Amino acid sequence: MSYFFETLVSGLFAGVMYSLVAIGFVLIYKASGVFNFAQGAMLLFAALTFVTLIEKGMPFALAFIVTSLVMVAMAILIEWLVLRPLRNRDPLTLFMATLGLSYVIEGFAQLLMGMDVHMLDLGIPDVAVQVGGIYVSQFDIIASLIALTLVATLAIAFNKTRMGISLRAVAADTLAAQSIGIRLPVIWRIVWSVAGIVALVAGLVWGSRQGVQYSLSLVTLKALPVLIIGGFSSIPGAIAGGLLVGATEALADIYVGPLVNGSVSAWFAYILAVGFLLVRPAGLFGDREIERV
């Protein structure tokens, strides 16, 4: 039975790391109604910038601050060069813009920092510790605490501050929000900056696990079933979806995998997501569209 609980807890911790990636998508979708395809490229660019600065001898804290400023500068450039010319266009146009943007960011990162694989040591030991009679990874515990702190901060910012209310107003009706004086360019700069810093945190956690390399941007594929299950517009939904995906994926790999003679972790989450699309298309915490007739 302890093996079951160790697998379950391990899956829940993996789910928290999936949630870290999914939160970046939720932030931009919540503020603009657009699925940001470039989130994976932003995650890669942030992690590459950070590890390059560390390799050049910059202290950890200073490298984090400088990389955060780089992500804010990137947000301002994206708003000025891409989003402002496409203001008030339909979401499909903006989605295609983020698709092109992802390739531009990856190409720019390759041009500046090369394609080498970088090892990243955050100073957090990845050793097993006993908690409540089961063994869990110390790295997973600390990564989960970081994710929960980030989520709590974002939840307060969205629900208790003037900026958060403005973000929700823009998401609900962009034209109406502009008509009452909310400045869309400022909102976009803020939300893309926050999404960039979230991408940095997620990139560091994932990069320390599997190395900072170009395949790092593919971890965003794990965020898709999390978003479908939790809901595209809900930060708590991203956490709930991540936990559900992580736990079911880990348990399925152990108990379903032997029945099909192979690992199911690569595709089980997508099967689960399809099931949710059939019975609850808005996800667990997503906003349902209301049509008045």
User: How crowded is residue 24: how many other Cβ atoms within 10 Å of its Cβ?
Assistant: 29
Asked if residue 236 is part of any domain, the answer here is no
Asked if residue 163 is part of any domain, the answer here is yes
- Residue 29: give the domain boundaries: 1-214
Model confidence at 53: pLDDT above 90: yes
Model confidence at 2: pLDDT above 80: no
Q: Which two tokens stand for residue 57?
A: 């001898």
Asked if residue 87 is part of any domain, the answer here is yes
**pLDDT for the residue numbered 91:** 78
CB-based contact 235:155 (threshold 8 Å): yes
Rounded average pLDDT over 106-125 = 84
Give the chain's count of helices (H) and strands (E).
Answer: 11, 2
Those residues with Cβ within 8 angstroms of residue 165's Cβ, 6 or more apart along the chain or in another chain: none
pLDDT per position as a tens digit, 14-40: 888 888 888 888 888 877 778 888 888
pLDDT per position as a tens digit, 156-169: 887 788 877 877 77
Q: Which two tokens stand for residue 59?
A: 């202290």
Asked if residue 280 is part of any domain, the answer here is no
**pLDDT for the residue numbered 290:** 55
Mean pLDDT of the chain: 84
For 261, which DSSP code?
T
CB-based contact 156:240 (threshold 8 Å): no
pTM: 0.85
- Counting the structural domains of the chain, the total is 1
Asked if residue 256 is part of any domain, the answer here is no
Asked if residue 225 is part of any domain, the answer here is no
pLDDT per position as a tens digit, 35-45: 888 888 888 89
| Nearest alpha carbon to residue 169 among 187, 192, 186, 157 | 187
**pLDDT for the residue numbered 291:** 53
For 115, which DSSP code?
S
